[in-house]
A = this chain, B = another copy of it.
Amino acid sequence: MNSPVSLVVQKFGGTSVADPDRIRAVAEHIVRTSHQGHEVVVVVSAMGRTTDDLLRLATEVSSQPPGRELDMLLTSGERISMALLCMAIAELGTQAESLTGSQAGIVTDTDHGRAKILEVRADRVREALAAHRVPVVAGFQGVSTARDVTTLGRGGSDTTAVALAAALGAEACEIYTDVSGVFTADPRIVPTARRLPRVSFEEMLEMAATGGRVLALRSVEFARNHHVPLHVRSSFTWEPGTWITELGTREAGMEQAIISAVTHDTSEAKVTINGVPDQPGIAARLFRALADRSINVDMIVQNVSVGGQADISFTAPKADLPVSLEVTRAVADELGAGDVTHDAAIARVSLIGAGMKTHPGVAATMFQTLAESGVNILMISTSSIRISCVVRSDAVEQAVAALHTRFELDQPPAQGSA
């Protein structure tokens, strides 16, 4: 058996190809990788703020742009960046071939604006590789089963890259971005935050879900389900970044810190419905009504008070607050519940760590740290590798910094610690 040439998928985000200088730098890196003996498949996003500019144009001609036409509009952005990138690669003497989502065989359902990939028919990508041309594929876009152009939604380019990596059996999927990897906390808030050399898919999923902006949740899920190792790294320094992989038991024992990172998120608001009769099925009714209006509810906390009545609080995106309140008030009226209150000045602070599964007391230490810093906790929710606390938004930076110090995240984990 011949040892196959190693294949790597390299995905470049909007800031990585924001202008002709950046495009030339990216082209040089691709050619360098290729000269090192790798087969390279490139996935590229639209340049810089192109997508936002196009969206603004759409709002100027339409109050409610049809999804099909919005997708046709937005997908022009990647055509521009991928064609320019191919030109820049060709300028360096290496052949390249741009492929639209359709040409690359990214087949999706017909749900415009947030289409799901059904299948990857990467024949033309393989043909390009066989002809020694670097395939440069448009991220974020596909072709629907109805032969229409679709987009995969925000973060869709990462998903394109992971799907291609899975379909082609790539050794790794490199996600290039404007940060140098995944950090123990947001370096803008915690100057001593440290780049993590490696995290597990599960940790990354929790980070993505709780405010870590580096990777979209969906692409991490896709990578985990298809066993595609991810490597998040900088397109400005080109240094090694953070690997996101499956961790075997031994590796977990060898390398895994108790806590990997502190994340935070200020994009949500809290809604509380007070004095709900404590009967079965009431929470179901409320959250079904919210789901019917496509409200993406995040944390849910229900307390039963002494009088047999319950308070239900939930968080949801601030942008959806008017609809969330409308739905919640309607349900409260039906149930004969009390007031509906809301609070947009909240933030969520989360501790993530695969190691906490086997270390009791992490939650207690977290609560105590926040208390000692004078940070009041408004809501709590936990998973097996995450603890989240909702706090007042003006306390978020203090909370993140205190937790980062308390769990010694500015120090690399000791060798052999469990």
Interface residues of A (CB under 8 A from B): 20, 23-24, 27, 54, 57-58, 60-66, 68-70, 72-73, 75-77, 79-80, 82-88, 90-91, 96-98, 100, 103, 124, 147, 149
Tell me which residues across on chain B come within 8 A of A87, comparing CB atoms.
Answer: 58, 61-62, 65-66, 69-70, 73
**Does the CB pair A84–B98 fall under 8 Å?**
no
Please report the C-alpha to C-alpha distance between residue A228 and residue B82 in the assembled complex, in whole angstroms: 38
**Does the CB pair A69–B86 fall under 8 Å?**
yes
Tell me which residues across on chain B come within 8 A of A96, comparing CB atoms.
Answer: 69
**Does the CB pair A90–B66 fall under 8 Å?**
yes
Nearest residue in B to A53 (C-beta to C-beta)? B80
Tell me which residues across on chain B come within 8 A of A70, comparing CB atoms.
Answer: 83, 87
**Does the CB pair B86–A76 fall under 8 Å?**
no
Q: When the two chains form the complex, which single residue of B62, B65, B86 contacts A66, counting CB atoms closer than 8 Å?
A: B86
**Does the CB pair A75–B79 fall under 8 Å?**
yes
A78 nearest CB across to chain B (Å): 9
Interface SS majority for chain A: helix
Beyond contacts A58-B84, A65-B87, A68-B98: 10 other A-B pairs, Cβ-Cβ < 8 A, are A54-B80, A58-B87, A61-B88, A62-B84, A70-B87, A73-B79, A73-B80, A73-B84, A76-B83, A103-B147
Which of A27, A69, A77 is most buried by chain B, counting CB atoms within 10 A of its CB? A69
**Does the CB pair B97–A24 fall under 8 Å?**
no
Tell me which residues across on chain B come within 8 A of A77, comparing CB atoms.
Answer: 76
Tell me which residues across on chain B come within 8 A of A103, comparing CB atoms.
Answer: 147
Tell me which residues across on chain B come within 8 A of A63, comparing CB atoms.
Answer: 91
**Does the CB pair A98–B86 fall under 8 Å?**
no
**Does the CB pair B98–A83 fall under 8 Å?**
no
Q: When the two chains form the complex, which single residue of B24, B62, B69 contacts A61, counting CB atoms closer than 8 Å?
A: B24
Question: What are 15 inter-chain pairs, A to B, with CB distance below 8 A?
Answer: A20-B57, A23-B61, A58-B84, A58-B87, A62-B87, A62-B88, A65-B87, A68-B98, A69-B83, A70-B83, A72-B82, A72-B100, A76-B80, A76-B83, A124-B147
**Does the CB pair A69–B57 fall under 8 Å?**
no
Tell me which residues across on chain B come within 8 A of A69, comparing CB atoms.
Answer: 83-84, 86-87, 90, 96, 98
Please report the C-alpha to C-alpha distance between residue A86 and residue B61 in the assembled complex, in whole angstroms: 9
**Does the CB pair B75–A20 fall under 8 Å?**
no
Which of A79, A87, A90 is most buried by chain B, counting CB atoms within 10 A of its CB? A87
**Does the CB pair A90–B73 fall under 8 Å?**
no
Tell me which residues across on chain B come within 8 A of A147, comparing CB atoms.
Answer: 103, 124
Tell me which residues across on chain B come within 8 A of A84, comparing CB atoms.
Answer: 57-58, 61-62, 69, 73
Nearest residue in B to A84 (C-beta to C-beta)? B61
Please report the C-alpha to C-alpha distance between residue A98 and residue B82 in the assembled complex, in whole angstroms: 22
Tell me which residues across on chain B come within 8 A of A57, comparing CB atoms.
Answer: 20, 80, 84
A137 nearest CB across to chain B (Å): 12
Tell me which residues across on chain B come within 8 A of A90, comparing CB atoms.
Answer: 62, 65-66, 69
Known interface pairs A57-B20, A86-B69. Does A62 touch B80 (Cβ–Cβ under 8 Å)?
no
Please report the C-alpha to C-alpha distance between residue A145 and residue B60 in the assembled complex, in whole angstroms: 37
Tell me which residues across on chain B come within 8 A of A27, comparing CB atoms.
Answer: 61
**Does the CB pair A73–B83 fall under 8 Å?**
yes
Please report the C-alpha to C-alpha distance between residue A276 and residue B96 in the assembled complex, in whole angstroms: 48
Tell me which residues across on chain B come within 8 A of A60, comparing CB atoms.
Answer: 20
A43 nearest CB across to chain B (Å): 15
A81 nearest CB across to chain B (Å): 9
A59 nearest CB across to chain B (Å): 9
Tell me which residues across on chain B come within 8 A of A64, comparing CB atoms.
Answer: 91
Nearest residue in B to A99 (C-beta to C-beta)? B72
**Does the CB pair A79–B82 fall under 8 Å?**
no
Please report the C-alpha to C-alpha distance between residue A108 and residue B88 in the assembled complex, in whole angstroms: 26
Please report the C-alpha to C-alpha distance between residue A61 and residue B124 in the assembled complex, in whole angstroms: 25
Please report the C-alpha to C-alpha distance between residue A77 and residue B80 in the assembled complex, in whole angstroms: 9
A264 nearest CB across to chain B (Å): 37
Please report the C-alpha to C-alpha distance between residue A125 and residue B127 in the assembled complex, in whole angstroms: 31
Tell me which residues across on chain B come within 8 A of A79, comparing CB atoms.
Answer: 72-73, 75-76, 79
